[in-house]
């Protein structure tokens, strides 16, 4: 993009941006002739990825700001008006909007709600911060046609985002996502209405308790052993951190109602979009749980829990044999919950007909083995919880399977069908019950995890990522994936690659016979997977929400008897060798 094109896009933006702060940023860059920064802000419009609209807060079409929020919402409203013309004609379209604790989230949420209202939607707006899973629940509870939550999930504080939902409570998927982008790109007129006018006309309704209380009740209803909790609750101590996000009110309320003692990290309890105590508010990161673990040690807690800013992700740590806390990975918690849910349904006689679990393609297959031991089938889907929700919907349409549980390695879990997204609140409640259950059997969560390793093999995983910001970074990632796709990888970590699965091309093949392809039943996505002869799997995937590429490594070693140490050493050796090769590939890129 040449300088004249950049300036033309910048000046068009300035003519439409009503927020002076964002406009001033762009004017300053023009005055300074900072074309490198201007290009990064204007070389594209933010697009819907696996998590919707997400970007750095600031002025520009490639940034999160009020203009881009208004434009996206107008395009979204236009799409629903065209898709449901009878409802549009009758004035019965409706939407619900929520937000988390990030900077500008409340401003962006109100702007979103008022655009919907200006287009004739009856629009519900939460009066304060609410978790993403509650937004999904609200769509279904209120019977809305769409919903939006303003959040950038676990991204750093300079980010914000915008997740758009369909009328089933799930995030927008294909073909709607691409068609909505077309509508957004075609927007020429953004309708507007003031807050007071929208309230007076009944187009805007403020909500809170009418959704909060049914949501809390629903989460509690999904527990398997409420009597055990009532009896044993005083024996368990839980330390929890919402990481300055939306979770405190909900986790404290639900677990408190169950009689459980929850000690929230005081320095991280209050919402704060600057996330002052963490560099990265992600429960996947050990550093994010540091304060909670320190408090857990001090309080001699049985489990440490964390949710990310919009409370859809859930992380945890448990005491080890020496009293220090051990972090439970997303794959490990998925395995533990798979085991507990299947075991509980079997014990209580509530296992449905043709039960099935859904996981993403980059998630460890350990859960598959556990589920199979209970007679439960596992299905794969693309990365991103909207794809788990899509498979869940297929279950309901075909009646071929009954949904039991859905999860992904990035700390996302869904226990209930009333929410069509990952739910950190319900995961926290079930983890608390699971902790109590195994305690009643004389075991910790770590003890049970080791039993599962002995029974099903020791699984170890590692994720590697590298950022490639800006327009040139996007091209670098495209070239890297193209090179991997063209040249392939015949070995990794000294192990032979037996099968390559190219999700973009919807096929799998052997590196020795690349022309002989087998079709795979997954939507097309820019993902490559390398299945090694020893059972290890390496997946390469550009992020849908950030300018980076991710590699996921999963290794499995069989356990001889009860000797976990040898299996751990073998898996770690394989992981280390593969990691070194991947880092070399990234360095060359």
Q: Choosing from 101, 153, 329, 426, which is the catalytic residue?
A: 153
The answer to whether 44 and 181 are in contact (CB under 8 A) is: no
For residue 313, the Cα-to-chain-centroid distance in whole angstroms is 6
The full 3-state SS of 142-182, as one line of letters, equals: HCCCEEEEECCCCCCCCEEEEEEECCCCCECCCCHHHHHHH
Q: H or E stretch including 549?
A: strand 548-557
Q: State the DSSP code for 120.
A: T
Task: Please state, in angstroms and rounded to a whole number, the distance separating the CA atoms of residues 29 and 186.
Answer: 27
**Taking Cα atoms as reference points, which of 378, 357, 388 lies closest to residue 173?**
388
Q: For residue 113, what are the CA distances in angstroms to 95, 128, 193, 247?
A: 8, 13, 10, 23
Match 């009954």 to its residue by tokens.
402
Whether 153 is catalytic is yes
Q: Are 219 and 254 in contact (CB under 8 A)?
A: yes
User: SS3 letters for 372-387?
Assistant: HHCCCEEEEECCCHHH
SS3 26: helix
Structure tokens at 1: 């993009």
Task: Return phi, psi of residue 381, to 5°.
Answer: -150, 175
Q: How many helices (H) and strands (E) does the chain have?
A: 21, 23
- Phi, psi of 125, rounded to the nearest 5 degrees: -130, 125
Alpha helices in 290-384 (DSSP H): 290-299, 330-348, 366-373
Query: Element (H or E) spanning 531, and its range?
Result: strand 528-532
Angle at the Cα of 415 (from 414 to 417), degrees rounded to 5? Answer: 90
Report the catalytic residues.
153
């Amino acid at each position: 993009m040449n300088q004249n094109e950049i300036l033309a896009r910048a000046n068009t933006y300035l003519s439409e941006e009503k927020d002076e702060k964002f406009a001033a940023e762009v004017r300053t860059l023009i005055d300074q002739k900072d074309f490198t920064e201007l290009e990064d802000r204007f070389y594209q419009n933010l697009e819907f990825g696996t998590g919707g609209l997400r970007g750095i807060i600031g002025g520009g079409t490639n940034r999160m700001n009020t203009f881009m929020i208004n434009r996206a919402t107008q395009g979204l409203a236009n799409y629903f008006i065209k898709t449901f013309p009878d409802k549009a004609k009758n004035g019965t379209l409706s939407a619900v909007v929520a937000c988390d604790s990030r900077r500008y989230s409340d401003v962006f949420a109100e702007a979103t709600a008022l655009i919907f209202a200006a287009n004739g939607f009856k629009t519900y707006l939460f009066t304060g911060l609410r978790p993403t899973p509650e937004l999904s629940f609200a769509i279904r509870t209120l019977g809305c046609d769409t919903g939006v939550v303003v959040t950038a999930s676990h991204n750093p504080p300079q980010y914000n985002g915008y997740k758009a939902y369909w009328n089933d409570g799930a995030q927008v998927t294909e073909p709607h996502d691409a068609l909505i982008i077309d509508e957004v790109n075609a927007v020429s007129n953004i309708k507007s209405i003031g807050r007071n006018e929208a309230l007076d006309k009944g187009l805007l309704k403020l909500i809170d308790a009418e959704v909060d209380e049914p949501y809390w009740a629903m989460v509690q209803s999904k527990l398997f052993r409420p009597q055990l909790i009532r009896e044993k609750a005083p024996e368990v101590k839980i330390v929890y951190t919402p990481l300055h996000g939306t979770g405190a009110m909900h986790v404290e309320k639900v677990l408190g109602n169950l009689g459980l003692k929850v000690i929230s990290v005081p320095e991280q309890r209050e919402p704060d979009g600057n996330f002052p105590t963490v560099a990265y508010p992600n429960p996947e990161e050990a550093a994010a749980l540091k304060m909670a673990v320190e408090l857990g040690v001090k309080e001699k807690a049985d489990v440490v829990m964390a949710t990310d800013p919009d409370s859809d992700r859930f992380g945890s740590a448990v005491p080890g044999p020496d009293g220090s806390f051990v972090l439970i990975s997303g794959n490990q918690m998925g395995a533990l919950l798979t085991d507990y849910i299947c075991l509980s349904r079997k014990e209580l006689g509530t296992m449905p007909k043709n039960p099935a679990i859904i996981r993403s393609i980059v998630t460890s297959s350990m859960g598959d083995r556990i589920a199979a031991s209970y007679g439960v089938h596992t299905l794969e889907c693309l990365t991103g919880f909207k794809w788990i929700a899509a498979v869940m919907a297929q279950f309901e349409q075909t009646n071929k399977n009954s949904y039991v549980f859905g999860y992904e390695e990035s700390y996302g879990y869904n226990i209930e069908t009333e929410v069509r997204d990952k739910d950190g609140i319900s995961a926290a409640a079930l983890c608390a019950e699971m902790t109590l259950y195994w305690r009643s059997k004389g075991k910790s969560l770590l003890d049970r995890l080791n039993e599962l390793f002995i029974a099903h093999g020791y699984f170890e995983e590692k994720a590697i990522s590298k950022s490639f910001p800006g327009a040139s970074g996007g091209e670098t990632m495209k070239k890297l994936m193209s090179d991997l796709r063209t040249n392939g990888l015949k070995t990794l970590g000294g192990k032979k690659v037996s099968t390559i699965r190219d999700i973009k091309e919807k096929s799998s093949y052997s590196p020795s016979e690349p022309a002989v392809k087998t079709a795979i039943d997954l939507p097309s996505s820019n993902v490559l997977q390398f299945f090694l002869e020893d059972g290890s799997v390496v997946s390469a995937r550009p992020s849908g929400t950030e300018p980076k590429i991710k590699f996921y490594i999963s290794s499995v070693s069989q356990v001889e008897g009860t000797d976990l140490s040898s299996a751990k050493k073998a898996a770690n050796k394989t992981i280390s060798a593969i990691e070194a090769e991947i880092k070399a590939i990234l360095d060359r890129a």
